[in-house]
Amino acid sequence: MNHLILLRGLPGSGKSTLAKVLAENNYPVFSVDDYFTDEKTKVYTFEHDKNYLAYKQCEENTLVGMEKNLAKIFVDNTFTLDWEIEPYFKLASKFNYTVYVVTVEKYHNHKNIHNISDEQLQKMAAKYKVKLL
**55/73 Cα distance (integer angstroms):** 16
pLDDT for 95-125, tens place per residue?
999 999 999 987 767 666 667 777 887 787 7
Q: For the chain, which domains are there?
A: 2-127 (3.40.50.300)
pLDDT for 61-103, tens place per residue?
999 999 999 999 999 998 988 889 999 999 999 999 999 999 9
- Mean pLDDT calculated for residue range 40-66: 94
Alpha helices (H) in 24-130, listed in sequence order:
33-36, 51-67, 82-95, 118-127
Instruction: Please state the separation of Cα 42 from the chain's center in Å.
Output: 17
pLDDT for 88-97, tens place per residue?
999 999 999 9
pTM equals 0.87
